[in-house]
Amino acid sequence: MLSVAWLVPAPHADAQSYQFNTVQIDGNERIGDSAILSRAGIARGRAISAGELNDAYQNLQASGLFESVALEPRGGTLVITVVEFPTINRISFEGNARIDDEALASVVDSDERRVFNPTQAEKDANAIAQAYSNDGRIAARVQPKVIRRDQNRVDLVFEVFEGDNVEIERLSFVGNREYSDRRLRRVLGTKQAGLFRRLIKRDTFVPERIEADQQMLRDFYLSRGYVDMRISAANAQLTEERDGYFVQFNVQEGQQFKFGELTVTSTINGVNAEDYRGVIKTKSGAVYSPSLVETDIARMERKAIRDGVDFLRVEPVVTRNDRDLTLNVEYRISRGPRVFVERIDIEGNTTTLDRVVRRQFDSVEGDPFNPREIRESAERIRALGYFESAEVNAREGSSPEQVVVDVNVVEQPTGSLNFGGSFSSSDGIGVAVSFAEDNFLGRGQKLKLTVSTAEDAQRYGFNFIEPSLLGRDVAFGLNLDYAETSSSFNSFDTERIVFQPTLSFPVSENGRLSLNYTYDDLEMSARDDTDTGFVVANDIAAGRQVTSSIGYNYSYDTRRAGLDPTSGVLLQFGQDFAGLGGDTKFVKTTAKAIGEKRIFNEEVTLRATLQGGALAWSEG
C-alpha cells in the first residue's frame, strides 16, 4: 500500500462534490500507483464531483487490467481497491485433431506472459470456432478454461469440440436452360458429396467458397457469350439432421451473343490502324468472349513494342446489337499516360525466392506501366501452384508518373513423399518410395527422386527441371534412370542406364519446341544353365549396346488457349536421330494429332486421336 497526498483549496464542498487530502491504493502488485491514478483521470488540486468519481471508476474498469475496482471515499481520503487480472502462464489447446496447435495459435490474440483478459479469451474462442467453420465444421464449439496457478498466474486452456464436417448433400441450379446441372457442377470449385466423400475435401460447406463459385459461374457463361448472365441468389439450407447443406444457385442466363464487326481506330500519329487490324485473330460470327478481346489487345500491344511505340493503350468499345444478338468491338488506340514502373515489392514469400515471382512479369523497374500486363502477371503467379493466394495491386509511387506494384502471397506446401508396395511373380515383393518437390529450395525448380526395389529388380530415378534457364523462357530438364533385374523367373539378367537432358522453349503463341539428347546403355546376360529364345539369344550375343541420339519435338496446342473454349487441337511431331556415337543407327519419327469438341451443350466430349510413327534402321 502506498499513499499519495496533495493539498487542495478549502472552499465549501456541496453534496455532489468531494475533496480528498489523500488517495490510498490497495491490491495492486504489478501496476504502479501513478499508472492507476493516470488511468483513473483524477486531477490534482481541485474538487471532484460525483460524476467525475464515477468516470474514474469506469476508466479503471474499462482498462482491462483489473477483475474488480472499488472507489470508497472515507472523509478526506479516497480508497481505491483493485484486484488485478492474473498473467497468462501458458496457452494450450485440448480436443483438437483436425487443426493442429500451431494453426490455432495463429488465430489467438492472447499471449503468454501478458495480462489475462476474459473478453479477449472469448474472442479467441470465437476465432477458433470460425477457423473450424471455414474448414466445414460449423458445429465446432470452443470453451476457454482458466487454471489458477501461484503468483497470480493462470493457464488458459481452449477446450475444442470439433464435431463432424458438414457436407454439401446436393448442388442444384434454377433457371439454367442451356447447360445442365451436371455440366455446371463441373465449373464450381465446391463439389457435391459422393462415394468418395471421405477423400474429397471440397464437398464441405464453406461460405467463402460459395462466393468464389458464383464468380466461376459468371466467368463460364461470359466466356460463352452470355453477357447478361446473372446470379440472383445463392441459397444454402441446412438439412433437418443438421449434418449437410442443400445449395441452390438461381441463374438468369440471357441470350448468347457473337462478335459483330471488329474495327480499329487510332489517334496516334504514325500508327496505322489497318496494320494493327491485321494482328486480330478473332473473326466476326465467333461466340463472344472477353478473353478473346484481351488476347487481341495483347497482340496489338506486342506489335507496338516491336514497332517502338511506347505508352500505347488499346481500349475496347463494345456496341450492343440486340436485334441480331451481336457485339461490335472497336479497338481504340491512343497514347496512354506516361507512367513507369518504379519498383515491384514482393511480400509473404518466406521460401520462394523473389526472382521466381519477378520472372512472371514481362515488365521490370523503369518500363512503361501496362495494367493489362500486370493482370496477366498476377494470373501467371497464381498458376505456379506455389501459393495459397496471390494478390497483385498497383499504387502510386514517389510521383504521379511512378507506379509501385505490390505482390502479396501466402505460400503453401509444394512437396510430396509417397510410399507404395508391390508383388510380382517374376520380381517378388517390392517397395517403392518417391519424393517430389515442385519448388525446390524456393527456386521454382522441379525435383523428383524415385526408388523401387524388389527381390529381383531395382530401379532408381532422378528427374530435374529448371523452368527458367539463365532467366529466360527456356526450360532445362535432366533425367537419369538406372535399372537392373536378376530374376530367377527369366533366363537372363539386364542392366540399363539412361541419361537424357532436354531443352524446351516457345516458338509461337501456342507452339513449343523441345530438343533432347539420349544416352541409353543396355546390357543383357544369360544365366548359367538356362535356355533362351532366339530373339533374346541374339540380344545377349550382341553384348553391351549403347544408343546415342539427338532429337526434337514440336507441339502446337490450342485446347486451352484457342479461340473456341469448346474445342481445340494438339499437334505433335518429333524425330530422333541415333548414330552420334554408340552402336546403333536409326531415324525414329513420331506424329500425333488430337482434336476435341464438346457437343450437346458441353455434356459430351468428342475426341479423335491419330498417331503414327516410322523407324528406319541403318547398318553400322
What's the 3-state SS for 368-424?
A: ECCHHHHHHHHHHHHHCCCEEEEEEEEEECCCCCEEEEEEEEEECCCEEEEEEEEEE
CATH architecture label of 87-161 = Roll (3.10)
Distance CA 213, CA 220 (A): 10
569 contacts 556 by C-beta, under 8 angstroms: yes
According to DSSP, the residues that pair with 410 across neighbouring strands are 389
Q: For residue 381, give the 3-state DSSP assignment.
A: helix
> What is the reported pLDDT for 402?
92
- Does position 5 have pLDDT exceeding 50, yes or no? no
Is residue 50 within 8 Å of 15, Cβ to Cβ?
no
Whether the pLDDT of residue 8 is over 50: the answer is no
E strand or H helix that includes residue 508: none
pLDDT on residue 243: 66
Q: Looking up cell 495492486, which residue turns up?
A: 28
Query: For the residues 277-306, what does the mean pLDDT come to?
Result: 90
Q: What is the 3-state secondary structure (H, E, C) of 524-565?
A: EEECCCCCCCHHHHHHHHHCCEEEEEEEEEEEEECCCCCCCC
d(CA 433, CA 421): 9
Cα separation of 528 and 525, whole Å?
10
Is residue 527 over pLDDT 70? no
Rounded Cα–Cα distance for residues 81 and 61 (Å): 12
What's the burial of 424, exposed, middle or buried (CB within 10 Å: 0-12/13-18/19+)? middle
Alpha-carbon span 355 to 399, nearest angstrom:
26
For residues 50 and 328, which has the higher predicted lDDT (pLDDT)? Answer: 328
Judged by DSSP in three states, 68 sits in strand
Share the mean pLDDT of the chain.
84
Amino acid at 590: T
- Closest by CA to 168, choosing from 207, 113, 142, 129, is 207
**Between residues 47 and 168, the one the model is more confident about:** 168
Fold of 167-252: Ubiquitin-like (UB roll) (3.10.20)
Dump pLDDT digits (tens) for 197-224: 444 455 676 777 788 889 999 999 999 9
- State the pLDDT confidence band at 608, using cuts at 50, 70 and 90: very high
In CATH, 340-411 is 3.10.20.310: yes
- Residue 7 predicted with pLDDT over 50: no
Q: Do the strands 141-149 and 77-84 form a parallel or antiparallel pair, or are they unpaired?
A: unpaired
The pLDDT value recorded for residue 14 is 45
Higher pLDDT, 15 or 369: 369
Its CATH architecture, for the domain 415-618, is Beta Barrel (2.40)
Mean pLDDT of 2-17: 43
Does 562 have pLDDT greater than 70?
Answer: no
Q: Which residues contact 581 (CB under 8 A, 6 or more apart)?
A: 546, 548
3 state SS of 379: helix
Would you say the CATH fold of 258-335 matches that of 2-84? Answer: yes
Match 514497332 to its residue by C-alpha cell: 307
Weakest-pLDDT range from 101-105, 314-318, 449-453, 491-495: 491-495
pLDDT exceeds cutoff 50 at 408: yes
User: What is the rounded average pLDDT of the residues 588-599?
Assistant: 90
The rounded Cα 502 to chain-centroid distance in angstroms is 29
Break the chain into its structural domains and give their ranges. 2-84, 87-161, 167-252, 258-335, 340-411, 415-618
Mean pLDDT of 186-192: 83
The partner residues of 155 in beta bridges, in order of sequence, read: 90, 147
Q: Which three cell numbers stand for residue 458?
A: 531395382
Residue 213 · residue 186 · CB < 8 Å: no
Give pLDDT, residue 1: 38
Instruction: Read off the pLDDT of each residue in 263-275 and give the average, rounded to a whole number.
Output: 91
CA–CA dist 457, 218 (Å, integer): 53
Higher-pLDDT residue of 82 and 480 is 480
With a cut of 90, say whether residue 58 has pLDDT above it: no
Categorize the per-residue pLDDT at 130 as very low, low, confident or very high, splitting at 50, 70 and 90. confident
Going from the C-alpha of 253 to that of each of 81, 225, 246, 288, the distances in angstroms are 69, 10, 22, 15
**Predicted local distance difference test score (pLDDT) of residue 421:** 82
Question: What pLDDT is stored for residue 510 in this prediction?
Answer: 84
| pLDDT score of 536 | 61
In which band, very low, low, confident or very high, does the pLDDT at 9 lie, cut at 50, 70 and 90? very low
Q: How confident is the model at residue 592 (pLDDT cuts 50, 70, 90)?
A: very high
What nine digits make up the cell of 114? 501478458
In contact, 245 and 205? CB cutoff 8 Å? yes
Residue 431 to residue 269: CA distance in whole angstroms: 70
What interhelical angle do 33-40 and 50-61 show, nearest 10? Answer: 120
| pLDDT at residue 515 is higher than 90 | yes
CATH number of 2-84: 3.10.20.310
Q: Measure the CA–CA gap between 369 and 194, rounded to whole angstroms.
A: 48
pLDDT-derived band at 533 (thresholds 50, 70, 90) equals low
Greater confidence (297 vs 15) lies with 297
β-partners of residue 432 are 420, 452
Q: What integer is the mean pLDDT of 540-547? A: 76
CATH architecture of the domain formed by 258-335: Roll (3.10)
Q: What is the mean pLDDT of residues 565-570?
A: 80
In 3-state terms, what secondary structure has residue 55? helix
pLDDT of 538 strictly over 80: no
For residue 108, CA distances in Å to 66, 105, 127, 322, 489 come to 21, 5, 7, 55, 62
What gap in Å lies between CA 170 and CA 167, rounded to an integer? Answer: 9
Span 334-355, pLDDT tens digits: 988 889 999 999 999 989 999 9
Calculate the alpha carbon distances from 100 to 94, 96, 132, 369 in Å.
Answer: 10, 7, 11, 44
- Tell me the backbone φ, ψ of residue 35, rounded to 5 degrees: -65, -40
DSSP 468: S
**What one-letter code names the amino acid at 443?**
R
pLDDT at 362: 84
